[in-house]
Amino acid sequence: MIYSKVRRLASRVMLAGIASALGACVADNETTSSSEAVSNSSAPVSQSSAPTSSSANSSVSSSAAFVPPPEQTPGPPALTVAINAGGPAASLDGIAYQADAYFSGGSTYVTDADIAGTDEDDVYLTERYEDSSYAIPVENGRYNIRLNFSETYHDAVGERLFNVLVEGQQVLSNVDIFATVGMRAAMIENINNIAVTDGSLDIEFQSVAALAKVTGIVVYKVDTTQSHADTGKAIFDARCLSCHSPATKGVGTRADESGHDMQSLTATIEATMPPPGLGEACDAECSYYTAKYIASVNPFFERPIPGPEPEQPIADIAPLPPVMSRLSKLEYNNTVRDLFGIHSNPADQFPADLSGQFDNDNATLSVTSLHIEKFAEAAENIATEVVEAAANGNRSVINCEITNASCAQTVINELGVKVWRRPLSNEESGDLLALYNDVQGVTGNRATSMTALLRTLLFSPNFLYRPEFDQNLNSTDAQPLSAYELASRLSYFLWASTPDEPLLDKAADGSLLNDATIRSEVARMLADPRSETLVDSFAMTWLDFNRFLSHSVDLNQFPQYTDEVKVDLLAETRNFLHHIVRDDRPLAEILDANYTYLNERVANYYGVQGVSGNHFRMYEWPEGSQRKGLMGHAAALTAHSHPAATSPVKRGTWVMDRFLCDRPPEPSADVISQFPDIPSGLDPREISELHKESSAVCASCHAYVDPIGYGMENFNPVGLWRDRYTVNNRTVDSSAELPNNGGQFSSLTELADILATKGEVSICSIGYAMSYALGRRATTVFVPGISSADYPAVYDIYQKTLDSAHSMHDVFTEIALSPAFRTRLGANSGSQQPQ
């Protein structure tokens, strides 16, 4: 082992770093209401309520002092006036109603009855009916209105219907008191937050069927004092939302707030937001209020990162119900291999799966007519093969003599549970036996009947999909998965295949629901060769090497990049990631490993001496080497280049996307129109700089993407070292600084070291693993109220795996133990998984 597993991670310094600011979207709203929103709090007061923190560890500092005013919290709405419509002064619910006033139109009516739902009947017994209106004099401001109604005349649904308008806007339509509460019962309607700007609160009652009525009106004035967080929200909505919308970056970013206190968050916003070219700078005052808002909505604010276990467990990790998955092509092939020993990969004939981030993305694994044709054909072929083997005495799958009628029941009992990954119900077993008997009746051929039985098992949605059944479809509380469902989740996560017998046994006796069993099963499964799939399905996909072989280079310029070299460069990377995944290495080692895997051909390509033979073996880079970690792999450097030129943008984008979960968008048509003309003879760094100089909008993205790419510029389009650019003979400069004081470097190895210590790299990587485990995109963006479920879960796993520096197996184990993996909300709970 070259590395000690436990690594020191950097302190919270600049967790905001690169990921935070990334303002790559175009500002489409200028600073509209922000100045207005701030202006009412301009009087500085000496007493400071800003939190003072000892850990002013941030490397950015506030330029201008801003002392926030004392914070006033808005009081409850205050009673303004209450009116007993059509009657004298009265009392109800502790409110003194004055005699009817401010009305025009309508008639009055008084009755005597016992009104259900209240002990104080007076207000409900007098009324103003017919079309009428009230014009209540009030100060301008915002008001809540409560209306009292009772039905004392009509006794059927739909007989009396009316509309209510406030300030000219219809707020209640087709009110039917009888339909809502029945006859002689109290009904209350609340209408909130009505703005009055003309000194008169106007309420109208319009008849629709029979005659409109009202019995009481209560008016409350809303306290419009804004909390500092409210002020911040107004700023945020006006100035930040176009980039930090729920669908994109969310409020703040990733781990940021976790590492921040008020002072450092305020300072970071002031120093970095908005990015250049995206509007007026957010000054100290603006930054303070925005930080107050972020702090108010993000429960992870001020949580130290990295640090000890959180004091309070993260309780409300909402395990979103995934969309029912179907077997991907890979999963189908693995499944029939493990069930039947069939190695012919029948799913290769299926239409290509549409993949999301990973090929097991349940939202994209759909079924169409073409799939059904292929499923039917595959089921037929597999069933035929299995039955033929059985007829020839092979008992490995069908453990009975197929010429015996009783064999069908044996197969249903023993094979059914394996194929459908759960026990069959009596009804299901009965129907399968009936099918067998029907076919036997038609054909008189036991082999054909057995084949039809297997075909049905394999063509059934119970095999092709992985349904999970909720105890309560509407539950908004997390419900545990059944032990069999958990077995399938585990096996398709770690093996991309069906549960084996030990796993099904632990599902059968329920022990799989225990933490200890999950731990031991995950360990067993990771030691099994079937977990090799994690290298390709997870790691190689995550890090974008699936399409590597289709990348071409300019062979006139780079004749040394032969097909053999290309294949072996990919093998270098796969061997490296195989080691990381199978040998349980820390996540960040992907970036800063001081070793790689070489065979003779790749060694020669790199100019390394002393490696002979075709096989790959671990090779430790000597002190002072030019390469380090995955960024130093020729495959990675080549894949993110143009065929004949390097691209700091492509390389930078790859790192930001796959390690920081922050992919900069493609330039918009508007931005494209600002592309400068590129004179010939410029090297890639000069071209990037030209972009930045030509327009502030271009610079807003390139400031974040390009520095990472610059760090890799000493490697040419096929990943080989260069000191000078061919195009202009200029010396290559790999030095740059990550934005927002994110760290200076002068080489790829220094860049690798900086990135490897960033907490958000580990958080992002865990997020990718989570996405793969759940078969859906796990969001690592914090968004209040919307799809925020994954962020706490990922954060929690981050915390729990600190001791191992987030070693791969530790991460996989904690994912398997997490509520997001073991429980689900009801499918109809209204929660939707992010897509």
Partner 1 sequence: MTQIELRRNKAPKLNRRSFLAGSGVCMSLPLLEAMLPAGKTAFAQDATPGRMLIFFTGNGCHMQTFTPSQAGNFNGNFGTATSLNPLRDIAGDITTIKGLHNDPMRGETGDHGKGSGAFMTCAPVAKNRISSHTTMDVLAARQIANQTRYQNLHLGIDSVGGGFPDNGYSAAYMGNISWENATTPSPRENNPQNLFNRLFSGDLPDNSGGGVDATAAVNQSVIDAVLQDVNRLESKLGVADKEKLQGYLDGVRDLERQLSFEQPEVVEGSACERPNIGGNGNFATNSRLFNELMVMAFTCDLTRVISYVFSNGLNGRQYSNLGINRGHHDISHHGNNQGNFDLLKRIDTYHMEEYAHLCKRLKETIDVQGKSLLDSCMVLYSSEIADGNSHSHYDLPIVIAGKGNGRVRSGRHINTNSGRIADLFLAMQQHVGANINSFGNSQGPLNLS
* Binders of partner 1 in range 26-55 (CB under 8 A): 26
Contacts of partner 1 in 375-404 (CB under 8 A):
376-377, 380-381, 384
What is the SS3 assignment for 177? helix
Residue span binding partner 1 (CB under 8 A) among the ranges 14-22, 356-364, 489-497, 592-600:
356-364
* Residue 423 binding partner 1, by CB under 8 A: no
Task: State both tokens at 726.
Answer: 């061919």
Residue 24 burial (CB count, 10 A)? 26
Smaller CB separation from partner 1, 574 or 824: 824
Q: Is 644 near partner 1 (CB under 8 A)?
A: yes
The only residue of 36, 155, 316, 670 in contact with partner 1, by rule CB under 8 A: 670
User: Which residues in 48-87 contact partner 1 (CB under 8 A)?
Assistant: none
**Residue 352 within binding range of partner 1, rule CB under 8 A:** yes
Q: How many angstroms separate the CA atoms of 705 and 642, rounded?
A: 16
- 801 versus 829: smaller Cβ distance to partner 1: 829
Task: Find the binder of partner 1 among 94, 168, 444, 610 (CB under 8 A).
Answer: 444
Q: What whole-number distance in Å separates Cα of residue 306 and Cα of residue 315?
A: 20
Least CB distance from residue 578 to partner 1, whole Å? Answer: 22
Closer residue to partner 1 in complex, CB, 338/554: 554
Smallest distance, Å, CB 680 to partner 1? 10
3-state secondary structure of 310: coil
Yes or no: say if 759 and 15 are a contact pair by the CB < 8 Å rule.
Answer: yes
**DSSP 3-state of 360:** coil
Q: Please report whether residue 431 would count as binding partner 1 according to CB under 8 A.
A: yes
Q: How many Å apart are CA 90 and CA 98, to the nearest integer?
A: 7
Among 119, 623, 677, 723, binds partner 1 (CB under 8 A): 677
The pairs formed by 167-171 with CB atoms below 8 angstroms and a separation of 24 or more are 167/194, 167/195, 167/196, 167/201, 167/202, 168/202
CA distance 112 to 290: 57
Residue showing tokens 């099904």: 504
By CB under 8 A, the count of residues binding partner 1 is: 87
Rounded Cα distance between 702 and 662, Å, is 13
Q: By CB under 8 A, which span of 287-295, 517-525, 661-669, 815-823 interacts with partner 1?
A: 661-669
DSSP code at position 162: E
What is the smallest separation between the CB atom of 173 and partner 1, expressed in angstroms? Answer: 22
CB nearer to partner 1: pick between 717 and 719? 717
672 binds partner 1 (CB under 8 A): yes
Using rule CB under 8 A, residue 827 touches partner 1: yes
655: number of Cβ within 10 Å: 25
Nearer to partner 1, 265 or 778 (CB): 778
DSSP 442-487: HH--HHHHHHHHHHHHHHSHHHHEE----SSTT--S-EEPPHHHHH
- In the bound complex, what is the minimum distance in angstroms from residue 370's beta carbon to partner 1? 5
Residue 354 in the binding site for partner 1 (CB under 8 A): yes
Task: Select from 83-91, 465-473, 519-527, 567-575 the region that touches partner 1 (CB under 8 A).
Answer: 465-473
Does 359 sit near partner 1 (CB under 8 A)?
yes
Return the sign of the alpha-carbon dihedral for residues 787, 789, 792, 798.
negative
Q: How far is the CB of 358 from partner 1 (least distance, A)?
A: 9
Applying CB under 8 A, which of residues 202, 428, 532, 584 lies at the interface with partner 1?
Answer: 428
- Which among 460, 455, 522 has a CA at the least distance from the CA of 486? 522
Asked whether position 456 contacts partner 1 by CB under 8 A, the answer is: yes
CB of 832 to partner 1, least distance (A): 8
- Binding partner 1 by CB under 8 A: which of 56, 113, 157, 370? 370
Rounded to whole angstroms, the Cα distance separating 139 from 220 reads 11
Q: Which of 673, 679, 723, 785 binds partner 1 (CB under 8 A)?
A: 673
Rank residues 114 and 388 by Cβ distance to partner 1 and give the closer one.
Answer: 388
Selected range binding partner 1 among 15-23, 65-73, 283-291, 450-458, rule: CB under 8 A: 450-458
* Residue 603 or 783 having the CB closest to partner 1: 783
Could you tell me if 93 and 220 are in contact, meaning their C-beta atoms sit under 8 angstroms apart? no
Residue found by looking up tokens 């270098």 in the block? 572
Q: Candidates 11-19, 157-165, 525-533, 825-833 — which segment interacts with partner 1 by CB under 8 A?
A: 825-833
What is the spatial distance between Cα 197 and Cα 383, in angstroms, rounded to a whole number?
A: 77
Other C-beta atoms closer than 10 Å to the C-beta of 737 total: 13
Candidates 414, 422, 416, 509; CA nearest to 467 is 422
x/- site string to partner 1, residues 532 to 571, per CB under 8 A? Answer: ------------x-------x-xxx---------------
Helices H, strands E: what count in the chain?
32, 22
Backbone angles phi, psi at 744, to 5 degrees: -100, 145
Give the angle 747-749-753 at the CA atoms, nearest 5°: 120
Judged by CB under 8 A, which stretch of 264-272, 405-413, 420-428, 687-695 contacts partner 1?
A: 420-428
Cβ proximity to partner 1, 424 vs 570, nearer residue: 424
Find the binder of partner 1 among 149, 153, 459, 548 (CB under 8 A): 459
In the bound complex, what is the minimum distance in angstroms from residue 223's beta carbon to partner 1?
A: 37
Q: Choose the stretch contacting partner 1; rule: CB under 8 A; options: 270-278, 559-567, 603-611, 639-647.
A: 639-647
Question: Which residue stretch of 179-187, 190-198, 352-360, 732-740 sits at the interface with partner 1 (rule: CB under 8 A)?
Answer: 352-360
| Least Cβ distance, residue 347 to partner 1 (angstroms) | 12
Helix (H, G, I), strand (E, B) or coil at 283: coil
Q: SS3 string of 568-604?
A: HHHHHHHHHHHHHHHCCCECCHHHHCCEEEECHHHHH
Q: Up-side HSE of residue 268: CA atoms within 13 Å toward CB?
A: 31
The answer to the question of residue 461 lying near partner 1 (CB under 8 A) is: yes
Beta bridge partners of 165: 170, 204
Determine the 3-state secondary structure of 128 from DSSP.
strand
- Looking at the Cβ atoms of 749 and 779, the one nearer to partner 1 is 779
Q: ω before 313 within 30° of 0 (cis)? A: no
* 201 token code pair: 């609160």
- The yes or no reply on residue 363 touching partner 1 (CB under 8 A) is yes
Furthest CA-CA distance within the chain? 106
353 binds partner 1 (CB under 8 A): yes
Among 442, 523, 527, 567, binds partner 1 (CB under 8 A): 442
Using CB under 8 A, pick the residue from 309, 414, 438, 620 that binds partner 1: 438
| 796, HSE (Cβ side, Cα atoms, 13 Å) | 24
List, as one string, the DSSP characters of 751-765.
Answer: HHHHHHT-HHHHHHH
Burial 439-449 (b: 16+ CB within 10 A, else e): bbeeeeebeeb
Per CB under 8 A, the segment of 368-376, 577-585, 709-717, 750-758 that binds partner 1 is 368-376
Closer residue to partner 1 in complex, CB, 47/368: 368
469 scored as a contact of partner 1 (CB under 8 A): yes
Least separation in angstroms between CB 561 and partner 1: 12
* DSSP letter string, 9-72: PP-STTSSHHHHH---SPP-S-STTHHHHHHTT----SS--S---S----S---SS---PPPP-
Cα–Cα dist 447/403, whole Å? 7
Closer of 333 and 451 to partner 1 (Cβ):
451
Amino acid letter at 56?
A
Of 271 and 637, which CB lies nearer to partner 1 in the complex structure? 637
- What x/- string results for residues 233 through 272 when contact with partner 1 is judged by CB under 8 A? --------------xx------------------------
Residue from 515, 666, 733, 803 binding partner 1 (CB under 8 A): 666
